[in-house]
């Protein structure tokens, strides 16, 4: 079933021949959402090449161009396809760069979550007993506090302690750390559950009979067999992390206005929404919603596709 991680002979040909790819090709929702996510990633990665303007370069900005509406409106200006904000920044460029920032924070925060969660889940699940009980109670405590609450407290304390100047420089790293650390229990629980299922299988006994050390059994034998559910929650977790980042930025605790992510863009435009400049807020919001929706649909599809029992019913 999950031929995707196998190497020989030729990973690409194996992937193309796999059941997963076959199911992917037959599911229009999967194809559309994967295409959208891919387009976002490409656009963000190529932003310096395709964006009409570098929104970080203050010298390119002209305050006279501020609050130009999108091109299809009467006072539109073809230089600013999606209009401009109150500082005269081109919205299209800002959104392209902002999407990139949002994706970077989302992906790296999830990598951190996965690293912490998978390690803890593996150790807790394989060893059991007190170690397991300790980490799982810790996870329960962490889950009883919402991610946003932890993040708000941590970021506010940091801002107060080190001043907003330093904060602006370190905002990306801080967001990745805070969102990454706050969400590890999701991974730890998922991995622990599959470790418990795998641990009782005979191939693990066989490795123990050979005499392999614990660490090797965990990493070489059990870990690779617990990765499918990790893959599934990862897509959804990226979406969650992007939302968390956007919410924090909207509250003024995230990316600074000089380096706007999608969330800080929505926030910065929010003040002007009643003065008629709706596009500064609405357009980045739509981008955010589409991106999150595509990621979630992709995650849903992946969960169904990797669950053979569900598939057989269709």
Partner 1 sequence: MALLEIEDLEVEFPNRHGTLTALRGINFTLDESERLGIVGESGAGKSMAAFAILNLISEPGRISKGRIVFEGRDLAKLDEEEIRAIRGDRISMIFQDPMMTLNPVLTVGVQMIETLKAHRDISDEDARKLALARLREVQIPSPEARLDAYPHELSGGLRQRVVIAIALLSDPAIIIADEPTTALDVTIQAEVLALLLALCRDHATALILITHDLAVVSQITERIIVMYAGSIVEAGATRQIIDTPQHPYTIGLIAALPEQNAPGQPLNQIRGSMPSLNNIPPGCAFAPRCDYATDICHRIVPNLTTAHGQSVACHHAGQLQPQESVRDTERAVS
Partner 2 sequence: MSDTSTPLVEVRDVHKRFPLPSSFLSSARPKVHALNGVSITVQRGEAFCLVGESGCGKTTLGRTVIGLEKPTRGEVHYGGQRVDTLDDTARKPIRQHMQMIFQNPYASLNPRMTVQQILEEPLRFHCPELNATDISETVNEVMTSVGNDPAWGQRYPHEFSGGQRQRISIARALMVSPEFIVADEPISALDVSIQAQVLNVLMDAQAQRGLTYLFITHDLSVVEHFGTRVAVMYLGTVCELTKTKDLFATPRHPYTQLLLSAIPRMDGQAFKHQPIPGEVPSPVNLPSGCVFHGRCPHANDRCRTEVPLLNSTKSTAQVACHAVEEGRI
Question: Interface with partner 1 includes 312 (CB under 8 A)?
Answer: yes
Tell me which stretch binds partner 1 (CB under 8 A): 27-35, 146-154, 155-163, 306-314.
306-314
Tell me which stretch binds partner 2 (CB under 8 A): 4-12, 67-75, 109-117, 250-258.
4-12
User: Residue 257: which of partner 1, partner 2, none does it interact with, CB under 5 to 8 A by kind?
Assistant: none
Choice between 144 and 312, CB closer to partner 1: 312
User: Residue 6: which of partner 2, partner 1, none does it interact with, CB under 5 to 8 A by kind?
Assistant: partner 2
In the window 73-92, what residues touch partner 1 (CB under 8 A)? none
Question: Interface with partner 1 includes 59 (CB under 8 A)?
Answer: no
Choice between 20 and 148, CB closer to partner 1: 20
User: Residue 201: which of partner 1, partner 2, none does it interact with, CB under 5 to 8 A by kind?
Assistant: partner 2
Between the CA of residue 289 and those of 95, 146, 147, 238, what are the distances in Å?
A: 13, 22, 20, 13
Binds partner 1 by CB under 8 A, chosen from 22, 115, 203, 270: 22
Choice between 20 and 41, CB closer to partner 1: 20
Residue whose tokens read 């999407």: 99
Question: Interface with partner 2 includes 206 (CB under 8 A)?
Answer: yes
Q: What is the 3-state secondary structure (H, E, C) of the chain?
A: CCHHHCCCCCHHHHHHHCHHHHHHHCCHHHHHHHHHHHHHHHHHHCHHHHCCCCCCCHHHCCHHHCCCCCCCCCCCECCECCCECCCCCEHHHHHHHHHHHHHHHHHHHHHHHHHHHHHHHHHHHHHCHHHHHHHHHHHHHHHHCCHHHHHHHHHHHHHHHHHHHHHHHHHHHHHHHHHHHHCHHHHHHHHHHHHHHHHCCHHHHHHHHHCCCHHHHHHHHHHHHHHHHHHHHHHHHHHHHHHHHHHHHHCCCCCCCCCCCHHHHHHHHHCCHHHCCCHHHHHHHHHHHHHHHHHHHHHHHHHHHCCHHHHHCC
Tell me which stretch binds partner 2 (CB under 8 A): 165-173, 211-219, 277-285, 293-301.
211-219
Question: Interface with partner 1 includes 313 (CB under 8 A)?
Answer: yes
Buried b (16+ CB within 10 A) or exposed e, 184-220: bbbbbbbbbebbbebbeeeebeebeeeeeeeeebbee
Question: Interface with partner 2 includes 203 (CB under 8 A)?
Answer: yes
Question: Interface with partner 2 includes 210 (CB under 8 A)?
Answer: yes
Q: What are phi and psi of 307, to 5 degrees?
A: -105, 95
- Distance in Å, CB of 26 to partner 1, minimum: 9
User: With CB under 8 A, what is the number of residues at the site for partner 1?
Assistant: 5
- Distance in Å, CB of 224 to partner 2, minimum: 4
- Distance in Å, CB of 23 to partner 1, minimum: 9
Question: Interface with partner 2 includes 79 (CB under 8 A)?
Answer: no
User: Residue 206: which of partner 1, partner 2, none does it interact with, CB under 5 to 8 A by kind?
Assistant: partner 2
Question: Interface with partner 2 includes 5 (CB under 8 A)?
Answer: yes
Residues that bind partner 1 (CB under 8 A): 19, 22, 312-314
Residues that bind partner 2 (CB under 8 A): 1, 5-6, 8-9, 201-203, 205-213, 221, 224-225
């Amino acid at each position: 079933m999950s031929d995707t991680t196998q190497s020989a002979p030729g990973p690409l040909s194996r992937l193309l021949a796999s059941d997963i790819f076959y199911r992917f090709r037959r599911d229009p929702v999967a194809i559309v959402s994967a295409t959208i996510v891919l387009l976002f990633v490409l656009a963000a990665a190529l932003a310096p090449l395709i964006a009409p303007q570098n929104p970080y370069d203050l010298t390119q900005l002209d305050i006279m161009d501020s609050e130009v509406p999108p091109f299809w409106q009467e006072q539109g200006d073809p230089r600013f396809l999606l209009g401009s904000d109150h500082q005269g920044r081109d919205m299209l460029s800002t959104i392209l760069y902002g999407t990139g920032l949002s994706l970077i924070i989302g992906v790296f925060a999830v990598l951190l979550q996965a690293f912490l969660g998978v390690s803890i889940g593996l150790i807790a699940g394989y060893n059991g007993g007190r170690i397991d009980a300790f980490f799982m109670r810790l996870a329960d405590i962490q889950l009883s506090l919402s991610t946003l609450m932890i993040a708000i407290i941590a970021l506010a304390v940091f801002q107060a302690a080190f001043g907003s100047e330093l904060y602006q420089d370190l905002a990306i790293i801080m967001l990745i750390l805070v969102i990454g650390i706050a969400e590890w229990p999701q991974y730890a629980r998922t991995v622990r559950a599959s470790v418990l299922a795998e641990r009782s299988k005979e191939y693990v006994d066989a490795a123990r009979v050979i005499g392999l050390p614990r660490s090797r059994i965990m990493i070489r034998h059990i870990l690779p067999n617990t990765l499918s559910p990790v893959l599934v929650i990862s897509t959804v977790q990226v979406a969650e992390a992007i939302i968390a980042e956007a919410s924090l930025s909207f509250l003024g605790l995230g990316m600074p206005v000089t380096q706007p992510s999608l969330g800080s863009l929505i926030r910065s435009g929010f003040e002007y929404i009643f003065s008629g400049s709706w596009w500064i807020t609405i357009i980045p919001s739509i981008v955010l919603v589409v991106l999150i929706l595509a990621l979630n649909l992709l995650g849903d599809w992946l969960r169904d596709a990797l669950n053979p029992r569900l598939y057989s019913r269709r």
